[in-house]
Every structure is written in C-alpha cells, then in structure tokens.
Chains A and B, each alone.
Chain A
Amino acid sequence: MGAPKIVRVGLATCGIAAGADKVFQALAQELTGQQDVWLKQTGCLGMCHNEPLVEVLTPAGESYLYTKVTPEKATDIARRHVLGGEPVRDWLFDDGHYLAKQKRVVLRNSGRIDPESIDDYLEAGGYQAIAKALREMTPEQVIGELEKSGLRGRGGAGFPTYLKWRLTRQSPGRPKYIICNADEGDPGAFMDRSVLESDPHSVLEGMLIAAYAIGAREGYIYVRAEYPLAVKRLKLALAAARERGFLGENILGSGFDFDLKLREGAGAFVCGEETALMMSIEGKRGMPRFRPPFPAESGLWGKPTSINNVETYANVPWIILNGGEAFAQYGTERSKGTKVFALAGTITRGGLIEVPMGITIREIVFEIGGGIRSGREFKAVQIGGPSGGCLPASLADTPVDYESLTQAGAIMGSGGLLVMDDSACMVDVAKFFLDFTVKESCGKCTFCRLGTKQMQAILQRITNGEGREGDLELLEELANSISRASLCGLGQTAPNPVLTTLRFFRDEYEAHLYEKRCPAKKCRALIRYQVNPDRCNGCGLCNSYCPTNAISGEKKRPFSIDQNLCTHCGLCFNVCRHEAISVN
C-alpha cells in the first residue's frame, strides 16, 4: 500500500448541525489504529444541503464523496470501502454540476485541509505568499500587485483594496493598525463564518501581507459572537502561527514585526460598519461616526487604520503567489476575480459557492443551485441582505458584478443570496428587513431611528389588511428622506428592500392594500385555514398543536377550525401529515 488512504469529514458548523461529529466518531471507531488510513477533520466543502459529507481519497489520488452520511452508513463505508476497497456506489455523489461553474480562490483549501492544523496549511502552500512578499517584494510592489489584480473589498462597498492600503501607508500618523472585519451581520449570509472555520490561516496570512504593505505592527480581528467555532479555530490558528514564528517579532528573519488580537463582537449589526466597529474595539457603544476623516487617516484610537473583510484578506495570499494578472483574468471589466455566495432559501442545493464575477443569477440558481427545491416557481432573489434588494425572476440574466447589480436595483453586498419561490410574499420580505433595521439602528440619526419605525408601521398595517390610500407614496417619500439623512450605510440603505420590492412587485402591495389579499398566502391577517374533510382522518395532531384551541372534533372524524379563535399561526398546516389543512 504505502501512501495512506485519507478519509475526510467536514466538521464546520453546518456539518456538525447535520450530525457530522457522530459520523466522525463512527468512522474513528472503525478506523483508529488501522495502518495506512488517515482519518481527518476538514472544514466546509460548501455543500450544506448534503451534509454530513465524507470523502475517501485513495493513494492514487482518486476522490469518492459520500453525502448525507449517517453514523450507520459511515460504519459501512469504513468497512466496505476504506478497509474493503470497494466503493459503496449507491451512496456516492456526482458533483459535476455543482462544481463545474465554480472557481475556488478564496475557498481553495476549504474542505481539503484540517483547519486546526498549521502543518496542513503549510503543506497546501500556506505562508509562502508572506515569505515571498517579505523576501522579494517591497511594500509598494505588494500594493502594485493588488492594483493589477483589481481586487475590490468583499465586505459590501467594493472599494479598491490597493487604494485603501496605499492611502493608509501614506498617512503620516503612527502607529498604524489593520483590522479584519469578521462581524458578518447580514442575516442570511455565512461566507465569512465558513472561511474562518475552514481555512483560518489564509485570513491571517492575508492580514500579514496587508500589515507589511501598510506598515502596521498591530492588528485586530473582530469576529461575530454568534460564531463560536470560528472563534475557537481562530484562537488555535493564532497560537500556532505565533509558535511557528509567523506572528510576533522578526517574522521569518526579515525584521518585520506584527501581532494580532482577537475581539469578539457582542451582537450588534451596526458594528459591521467600520467606524462603529472601531468604537466597539475601543470599548464603547458601537455607534458610527461621520466620515471623513476616513479610517485610513484617523481610525482606531485616532490612528491610520485599514479595515478589510475576511474574504478580501483570504484572496490576498493567492494574488501574491499567482500574480495580480492571474486573478484579473476572472471576472468582468470592472469586477475582477471571484466572489463567494451563501445560497439559501427554497433552493435545491443550498450552500457556499465561489463563482467568477459576471456569472448570471440564472446560472447560479439553476445550474449550480439546482433550481427551486419545492418544484414551485422561481420568483425572486434577495441579494445584499438588509442593504440590498429583491430582483425578480425576469431579471435573472443580470450578471453578478458590482455595477450590473447596482444598476438593477440591488447591491453586491457581502454575498448573501436568498432564493425565493412563489410562496414568498414580497411585502412580508420587505417588512422582515425593516423589522431588522428598526431593531439594529443604533439610534444616532433621527431619520434612521424614527423614519424606519414609521415605514415599519405602514408595512405592518398593509400586511394587516389595514393599509390606506397613499401609503405606497408615503413609503417612497420616507425612503428617500431616510437614505439622504442618515450618517452611515445602515440608514442610507435601510429602505432598499422596500424600494426594490415596490419597484418590481408593486402589484403585490396593491393586492394587500386594495383587495385585502396576500397573493402568496403568507400574511397572517389576510388568510384563513380550513380543514378539508375529505382528507382529514381525524388523527387530532393539529388539535394538539393549536395554541388557541381553535380546532375541535372527535378522533377519527374530520376536525374543524373555529375562525373566531384562529390566530392564523399555521402550526396545524405545518404539522398535518395528510395535507388536510388548506390555506386561502
């Protein structure tokens, strides 16, 4: 035999939630102590819909991927394939479609290496980019390479990375700081979590290169508190990097000193905004401040600071090793490289994907995502979270790049891409985001604090069937004022979900407003649940779940719903196993 067989199990949060830790234990029971077999944990392969994932690699380099593995299946795979040499064909996954259109730069190591092992990262070419930068390049050359690459910030705004670095480098103040923004607040996005859980060293290396280019000796990683596994793996990575001399003094004998501190966020969306984030690191309430001065001039503790997103940093080592031109060959004229998206919603293959910029929404949804899960009709995508917009199916051929998306009315955002079928109510979606911004507004600007509340109240009454003549115009007027009179991106973009749905789905607003009807049958006040007596077998399950005891009947006879008591929560609809509850 010689070279070992490698068995990899994806142990990121998604995998663990699907039971991958138990699968790992089952494999360990069979394989521990076996010669020539190496069982290891990895991060996320991106196929969240198919977790838990087990990959068997033969010494000859062939890869066999098993999906939706249970502990029982794992035992079988260990015995029949790993030890017995016969792949279990029935359970193998054909990943042709899912991966064919993808290009992995940021996710180059995700799902391949053990994120808790620095040796794995080194073996995959890790820390060679910083070595190259320190030995062969001046800081200006590093920045020049980034300029050639065309890399723009992946945190949402798309500011050219090289320019941010150059401005910070040229800024006179001392010391200088760099920050990694890992606050990932868009509720429906998980790119940064996955990168940190699957390949934390790539982010550290990107930060090292940035620090060298800018002339910073100290940096911070500000990571969201809701990501405990990412925090744990970052801590391990920092300790390992320090031990091997990639962090600390005189790194790789070059005379360059740099170290990093980890800060956990505390659950405030606005702290993803760069100036608020710095306030938070300073130990204050995370409230944004006016820019200019920009952080490059006056950031953390008033010192020049460069702040970048997780994904932005993860691109950097690849660019330094492969050259800016290699990166710029992907993408479009003004949006270079690849972008990671978190695909979720009613899509068949939800998960994490990385695609060249310029790919269309249709290609993402249908060719990579496998289309709509429910077999229903594709209705819209929401891109960019609370700052973004909903694009209708008719705009599915829009290329995914900064300019095209903005022109269509959405934004690139940080990479949340939520797919909706015709069961989604667009007024409800808009209200969802407004509820979110109302909760998360820091309260500093009047329009953001109170204007969003007014918009929320209007949307509430529209979805309650109590909308008034002129409400839609009032929404638009408020939206414009809020955008103009807010200090930070949160308020400036808060009306976007409402504006885009008003633009593309105005008929749905009108149905709620004038006909008191929710076409998607989502808004509780406008729907009725009824028992279909032909389908109901009288099992009584719905009755046991009904919070208001609105359902009554005798066992084995059709039940009925008292409309006066029903609160339209939909629990009965969800628990019924016979599709005997209908909604109108």
Chain B
Amino acid sequence: MEEQLHAAVAAILRQYDHRRGNLLPVLQAVQARLGYLPPEAMEQIASAFGVPPVDVYSVATFYAQFRLKPPGRHQFKVCLGTACHLMGGHTVLDCFERRLGIKEGETTPDREFGLERVACVGCCALAPVVVVDGRVEGRVSPTRVDGLLLSFSLEKSRRETPATPTNGGGGSPYGA
C-alpha cells in the first residue's frame, strides 16, 4: 500500500521539473490521482523539490482545493455562492447534512459520501446548485437531494452482493 503510494507520487514527480513554480501543479496532479494529499506524499514532494515539508504543507493548507483527508466515493459540493445563498443553498446543505449524518467537510464512515461547500461554480442562473461527482445539477430542491441519495444507495446495494439494507446514507425520505 505504502509502496504503491510512493510509486504513484514518484511517477507524477517524473513528469515535472522541480522548480518551485511547479509545486502547485504537482500537488494538483497528486490529488487528482489519489483523491487527497496524504502526509507521506507531501514529504516525498518536499524532498524532491528540496524544500522543508512544512513549505509544502503550508501551501497545501492555504488553498481550499487541497484535501488532507480521503474523499467519499461520491462527492457532493453544495454551492453557497451569492446567488445560491439567496435561492436557498443552505437548505440544500442542511438536507445533505441531515440525510448523511455528517457536516460539510466530512465523509461518511463508510467513505461512500463526502460533503463539501463551494463558493460559486459559475452556474448562478440555475441556483441553487450542487456539483455531484463533477457534474453540475441546477435548481436543486430538498426532494432532489433525496432522489440523488436514493439512486446512489441503490447503486451501492447493487454493487454489494449480498444486498445489504441501506441506512443513514440516503434511503426513503419517509424512512429516517
């Protein structure tokens, strides 16, 4: 496991020269590959760039894009930009928090779902907006949230044989 991680980061490091200007692109590539930035990866990058690990860490924590914890299999980003705020984005976030039993910035214990907030994805005319695994959904209502979660939990039970009953993550709006 650890060796795999090391090899994956090394492969990315080989694609860039290690001038400071390439630090962000390397971090972005590593996160795109691993889903987040594990501490070992940051240390490996630091030694390749010839800077102390704290430099890499300070950059990674400055930018909202970088995750220091693994994301969920499905990632929801609820937009709380100006238009979405006005059009009820908080209600949508509340709905996700309630149904998933987690707060924004967290991942469900089974790592199935992650919840984040984002400040505008540029589809303000379709507010409130949620980005579901990279796809933008417009005019999201509380009922749509349940619909989304239901389809994912159906997918999950199809994936897992023997079928297990869903709990917490999703389920019927009338169940919980």
A residues with CB within 8 A of B:
13-14, 16-18, 48-49, 51, 184-190, 193-194, 225-228, 263-269, 280-286, 342-346, 350-351, 382, 385, 416, 418, 420, 424, 429, 432-433, 436, 439-440, 442, 540-541, 544-545, 547, 569-571, 574-575
Which B residues lie within 8 Å of A429 (CB)? 86
Judge whether B122 and A13 touch: CB under 8 Å: yes
Of B77-85, B104-112, B158-166, the stretch lying at the interface with chain A is B77-85
Query: In this complex, which of B59, B80, B125, B138 has the most chain A Cβ atoms within 10 angstroms of its Cβ?
Result: B125
Q: How far in angstroms is the closest Cβ of chain B from A245?
A: 26
Stretch at the interface among B3-11, B68-76, B88-96: B88-96
Answer whether A346 and B86 are a contact pair too, CB < 8 Å, given A14-B126, A48-B123, A575-B142. Answer: yes
Contact across chains for B82 and A382 when beta carbons are under 8 A apart: yes
With A17-B129, A184-B122, A571-B91 given, can you name 20 additional A-B contacts, CB distance below 8 Å? A14-B126, A17-B135, A18-B126, A185-B119, A187-B82, A188-B82, A189-B122, A189-B124, A263-B24, A268-B64, A285-B62, A342-B124, A342-B125, A344-B82, A418-B86, A429-B86, A436-B119, A439-B119, A571-B94, A575-B143
Residue from the set B66, B95, B123, B143 with the largest chain A CB neighbour count within 10 Å: B123
Q: Which residues of B contact A433 (CB under 8 A)?
A: 82
Inter-chain contact A283/B122, CB cutoff 8 Å: no
Residues of B near A187 (CB, < 8 A) are: 80-82, 119-120
B91 contacts which chain A residues (CB < 8 A)?
569-571, 574
Determine the chain B residues whose CB is within 8 A of the CB of A541 once the complex forms.
173
What would be 8 A-B contacts, judged by CB atoms less than 8 Å apart?
Answer: A186-B120, A188-B82, A194-B122, A226-B121, A264-B25, A283-B20, A342-B124, A346-B87
A190 touching B59 by the CB < 8 A rule? no
Partner of B83 from A266, A345, A574 at Cβ < 8 Å: A345
Instruction: Find chain B residues with CB under 8 A from A265 CB.
Output: 63, 65
- For A421, give the chain B residue with the smallest CB separation: B86
B49 to chain A, nearest CB (A): 8
- Nearest chain B residue, comparing its CB with the CB of A524: B90
- Does the CB pair A188–B94 fall under 8 Å? no
In whole Å, how far is A239's beta carbon from the nearest beta carbon of chain B?
17
- Which chain A residues border B143 with CB–CB below 8 Å? 575
Which of A49, A228, A416, A540 contacts B82, CB < 8 Å? A416
Q: How far is the CB of A301 from chain B (nearest CB, A)?
A: 8
| A283–B64 CB distance below 8 A | no
Residues in A whose Cβ lies below 8 Å from that of B135: 16-17
B125 near A188: Cβ-Cβ < 8 Å: no
Contacts of B64 in A (CB 8 A): 266-268
The contact of A574 among B23, B142, B173, by CB within 8 Å, is B142
CA A51 to CA B81, docked complex, whole Å: 21
Decide if A266 touches B28 in the complex (CB within 8 Å).
yes
- The 7 closest A-B CB pairs, nearest first, are A188-B82, A187-B81, A48-B125, A266-B63, A350-B125, A267-B64, A190-B122
Nearest chain A CB to B42 CB, angstrom units = 14
Q: Is the CB of B21 within 8 A of A281?
A: yes
A420-B86, A574-B91 in contact; A190/B63 too (CB < 8 A)? Answer: no
Smallest Cβ distance from A428 to chain B, in angstroms? Answer: 8
- Residue numbers in B under 8 Å from A343 (CB-CB): 125
User: Which A residues are in CB contact (< 8 Å) with B173?
Assistant: 541, 544-545
Which residue, B21, B66, B95, B173, has most C-beta atoms of chain A within 10 A?
B21
A226 near B88: Cβ-Cβ < 8 Å: no
Chain B: interface residue total (CB-CB under 8 A): 50
How many Å from the CB of A430 to the closest CB on chain B?
12
When the two chains form their complex, are residues A344 and B24 in contact, meaning their CB atoms are under 8 A apart?
no
How far, in whole Å, are A318 and B98 apart by their CA atoms in the complex?
A: 51
A342: chain B residues at CB < 8 Å are: 124-125
**Contact between chains at B120 and A226 (CB < 8 Å):** yes
Q: Does B127 contact A (CB under 8 A)?
A: yes
| Chain B contacts for A346, CB-based, 8 A | 86-87
Closest to A264 in B: B28
For B124, give its contact among A188, A266, A545 (CB under 8 Å).
A188
Q: In the complex, which residue of chain A has the Cβ closest to the Cβ of B63?
A: A266
B46 at the interface (CB under 8 A from A): no
Which residue on A lies nearest to B56, using beta carbons?
A: A283
Q: How far is the CA of A570 from the CA of B98 in the complex (A)?
A: 13
Q: Is the CB of B136 closer than 8 A to any CB of chain A?
A: yes
The answer, yes or no, to whether B58 is at the interface (CB within 8 Å) is yes
- Max count, chain A CB within 10 A of own CB: residue among B66, B118, B129, B138: B138
Given A351-B125, A544-B173, A569-B91, A286:B25 Cβ within 8 A: no
CB-nearest residue of chain B to A49: B125
